[in-house]
Amino acid sequence: MKLKLESFFVLYNKKIKIKEIIKIFNLKNDEIELLEKILFELEKEGKIYLDEYGYYMHVPKEFYLKCGILKKSNSNKYYITTQDGERITIVKLKKDVKEGDVVFVYKSTKKFKHPKYVEGEIVRIVKKEHYVNYCNYLVKSTLMKEGTQYYIKQNDKKIYIPFEYINTAYIGDLVTVSIETENTGKVLEVVKRHSKKHVFELIEKDGSLKWIPVGTSYKEFKLDIKGFKIGDRIIAEINDDNLEFIKQINTKNIITNEIESLIIDFGFDVYFNEKVIKEAEKLSNTILKEKIDKRIDLTNLETFTIDPITAKDLDDAVSLEYDNNKYRLYVHIADVSSYIDINSYIFKEALKRTTSLYPSNYVVPMLPEILSNHLCSLNEGEVKLAKTCMLDIDKNGNIIDFQIFNSIIKNDKQMNYNAVNDILLGRYSDSEYLKYAIKLLKMNELSKILQKIKLQRGSIYVETSEPKFEVDEMGSPILISDYNKGEAELMIENFMVLANETIASFAFNLDLPYVYRNHEKPTISKTNKLEWDLSKKGYLVKKISNIDNPRVFQKYILTMFEGKNKEEIKYLSSIMLKSMCRAFYDSKNIGHYGLALNCYGTFTSPIRKCSDLLNHMVISEFLENGITSDKMEKLKKLISEYSEYFTEKQTDADNLEIEVNSYLLEKFASNFIGKTISAQVCFMTSEEIHIKTTNGINGIIPIKNNFVIRNGILIDKNNNVYKVGDIIEVTLEKIKNKKFVFETNENYKILKKERNYD
């Protein structure tokens, strides 16, 4: 109906009342509410205008009123930006108008000294109360999931969709939603499916076997395939309301079954098709002499990889030489592009997947295992093709010179972060690592120099940790621990960021097509919300000024962290991250605010990221054939077409990981509901006590009337004093909105007093 109405107004091009529209379209009573919603949506988009007499009219390009969203500048002046990009400053503000409202503005003809300065006055505010029967409005957005709750995001706010109102939509689908209340809505239609493939489970209903979709209210299907029992799950594709069987989810346990189902529902493929597998199997493990002769041989250079202990897809290695107060750092990246043709099934599959997935202990690779774990992976003792970024760096961290070239390397040692951290911290380590100790310490020395430069230029620092699960033979989580970055992780991160920045700047300066990783500064509305969220939690906050400079925002964050223990810093970091814009892929470079860099793009993970693989292909083509080849033109087109898609899929991958972690955390914690556990008090806000149980659950105790706050400590009605670091007894009361809520009562006691908790 929306498209019909939009076309109608363009062709009709006269004033018209809603009663006449109802007659023209012959609408029934139950369709009038939808009409009002669409009219409201069209006016918010500036396509039609409702005058003071109740007449609607089409808004042509040359319309005397200009439409836009009311915003507030850093100097507290209100303005709108029109569709043509013109900025109009508002001189007279109406009483009932607020930031974020859609308004129609009369543009003044008054001339000013600055040619681009224009003033205007608000004529109309597009608000829902202007409509007679209408109390909500329509939006288009992507359906997402958080625990068991579905939601969309509208202006950084979550609008929750009750399960009975998701109307056949799946996670990732583009949907039209009717906003019913301030925080809830319902799906009216699915505009675009995120994926045709979904997970279905066999159930018995009304005396017959039916396949029902997992995680949505889509209709049931009958599919005549034999050999399945109730509870079995399959992957199937919906085509014209028919179900086409693809594959059974054949897992060993319920947990893995659930994770696979989530992966598929988030729009990712778990399995590779036969064409991709067969093509990968034909690839030779033998490196041709003609390829070796064209490369710089670095097989005698001491080289090693440093990764998580479970890693199998090793796509980066490092080497270091030091002489006369100068570091020569080599960052070697697996040359995946030498194995994959741009027209191959493997590459087309990589474009579709865009990224490898690592939810919990599960791995879904972007490339078939024969490539990701064997042919391309920089495995210990094997000679491999690589692309090397060689950087000469002085003692102050300045890059004196750099080269990017095709190489052949050999990994002398496959190291893991745990053992390298032991070496760097002077703890006992595996004897096989000791011969590399001097080199590792020298690498860490360079890393600290690079880290100091990062902080000086304003690179944003936040403290994050990921839950690490140990599972039993059935896949159920039995232990949770935090995965925290050590010096080894930071060292590799600093080296990779430097290589990524160097190669991206190289491509930018030569005007090569490239996939950049951009990051914008926080918006004013986000920083305002950050200040509000922090003050609501009881923190003393100052107004954030000069947000354009990342050093200012960095200082603000570091000031908030002062005097806080690790758990509170992680909590504050989670609030800070919500105020940041998401990084995104683009064919155009605008810089990276979070890293405080003018140019950035990723290059160091071509086994795991298609963005990096495309960048490898660009650099390969440039090194071999220059900038003007036909292949370079094709790469330029692919980068332009796929950059936005890479961002969408990366967001899906991040949300999937959060969803899987939440699922496993709730699965683990549900075993302890109603049970008494000992926990440490981590920190306190004005609303809650934050605790961490001895079995690894981060939870809260709401501060109710039975607590009194005095001089920064809490006292309950039995005069028990709670301080940071105390070990107390708690009971897990419930799990609500991903929060683990505990309680104490008069029978619980403080087991141990700790005054210096970190």
- Taking the C-alpha atoms of residue 265 and residue 199, their distance in angstroms, rounded to an integer, is 7
Confidence of residue 314 (pLDDT cuts 50, 70, 90): very high
Cβ proximity of 332 and 316 under 8 Å = yes
366 in the same domain as 435: yes
Is 166 found in the same domain as 106?
Answer: no
Q: Where does the pLDDT of residue 756 fall: very low under 50, low under 70, confident under 90, or very high at 90 and above?
A: very low
Strand 413-416 versus strand 304-307 pairing type: parallel
Lowest mean pLDDT among 124-128, 477-481, 533-537, 686-690: 124-128
Whether 537 contacts 530, CB under 8 Å: no
- The number of domains in the chain is 5
Q: What angle do CA 529, 533, 536 make, to 5 degrees?
A: 135
- Mean pLDDT for 314-336 is 96
Picking from 400, 374, 403, 393, the residue whose alpha carbon sits closest to that of residue 298 is: 403
Are 575 and 591 in a shared domain?
Answer: no
Residue 263: inside a domain, yes or no?
no
- Looking at the domain assignment, is residue 210 inside a domain? no
Per the listing, tokens 């700790």 go with 754
What's the rounded Cα separation, in Å, for the pair 298 and 408? 6
Domain contains 395: yes
Domain that holds residue 549: 524-580
Element (H, E) at 232: none
Cβ(141)–Cβ(191) under 8 Å?
no
Contact 640, 587 (CB under 8 A): yes
Looking at 552, 580, 608, the residue that finishes a domain is 580
Cα–Cα–Cα angle for 273, 277, 281, rounded to 5 degrees: 170
CA distance 332 to 503: 12
Asked whether residue 705 carries a pLDDT value surpassing 70, the answer given is no
Average pLDDT rounded to a whole number, residues 296-303: 96
Cα first-last separation, the chain: 60
- Which of these three, 662, 689, 722, is where a domain ends? 662
User: Phi and psi (nearest 5°) for 548?
Assistant: -60, -30
25 or 251, greater pLDDT? 25
Give the CA distances from residue 484 to residues 466, 558, 576, in Å, rounded to whole numbers and listed in that order: 7, 19, 18
Model confidence at 757: pLDDT above 60: no
Q: Are residues 488 and 344 in the same domain?
A: yes
For 363-386, the pLDDT digits (tens) are: 899 999 999 999 999 999 999 999
- Point out the least confidently predicted range of 391-395, 446-450, 569-573, 749-753: 749-753
The backbone torsions φ and ψ at residue 276, rounded to the nearest 5 degrees and listed phi first, read -65, -45
3 state DSSP class of 404: strand
Query: Are 655 and 640 contained in the same domain?
Result: yes
Query: Which domain-ending residue is among 662, 696, 715?
Result: 662
Quote the pLDDT of residue 129. Answer: 47
Residue 307 or 138, more confident: 307
Is the per-residue pLDDT at 234 higher than 80? yes
How confident is the model at residue 710, as a pLDDT? Answer: 67
Classify residue 199: in a domain, yes or no. Answer: no
Structural contact between residues 336 and 607, judged by C-beta atoms closer than 8 angstroms: yes
349, 494: one domain? yes
**One domain, residues 510 and 655:** yes
Q: Which residues pair with 517 in a beta bridge?
A: 585
- Answer yes or no: pTM beyond 0.85: no
Q: What is the DSSP letter of 301?
A: S
CA distance 547 to 644: 26
Domain identity same for 68 and 31: yes
Residues 618 and 656 in one domain: yes
Q: Quick one: tokens of 437?
A: 């100790």
Query: d(Cα 302, Cα 431) in Å, to the nearest integer?
Result: 17
Q: Are strands 233-239 and 477-483 parallel, antiparallel or unpaired?
A: unpaired
Residue 741 has pLDDT above 80, yes or no: yes
The mean pLDDT value of the chain amounts to 86
Q: Are residues 430 and 553 in the same domain?
A: no
pLDDT for 507-520, tens place per residue? Answer: 999 999 999 999 99
Top mean pLDDT of 81-90, 187-196, 641-650 is at: 641-650
Would you say residue 710 lies in a domain? yes
Q: What is the pLDDT of residues 577-590, one digit of tens each?
A: 888 888 999 999 99
DSSP strand pairing (71-72 vs 78-81): antiparallel
189 in Cβ contact with 174 (< 8 Å)? no
The answer to whether residue 261 is domain-embedded is: no
Q: Among candidates 736, 738, 732, which has minimal Cα distance to 671?
A: 732
Is 239 within the bounds of a domain?
no
Distance CA 619, CA 333 (A): 12
pLDDT at 286 over 80: no
Segments of 14-55 assigned E as strands: 48-50
Which residue type, as a one-letter code, is found at position 651?
T
Residue bearing tokens 């930031």: 99
With 60 as the cut, is the pLDDT of residue 351 above it?
yes
Strands lying side by side in the sheet with 721-722: 707-710, 713-716, 721-722
pLDDT in tens, 608-617: 999 999 999 9
Q: Based on the domain organization, do 688 and 568 belong to the same domain?
A: no
Domain at 186, CATH number: 2.40.50.140
Same domain, 290 and 420: yes
Instruction: Kindly state whether residue 35 falls inside one of the protein's structural domains.
Output: yes
Closest CA to 361 of 514, 467, 277: 467
According to the model, what pLDDT value does residue 247 have?
A: 82
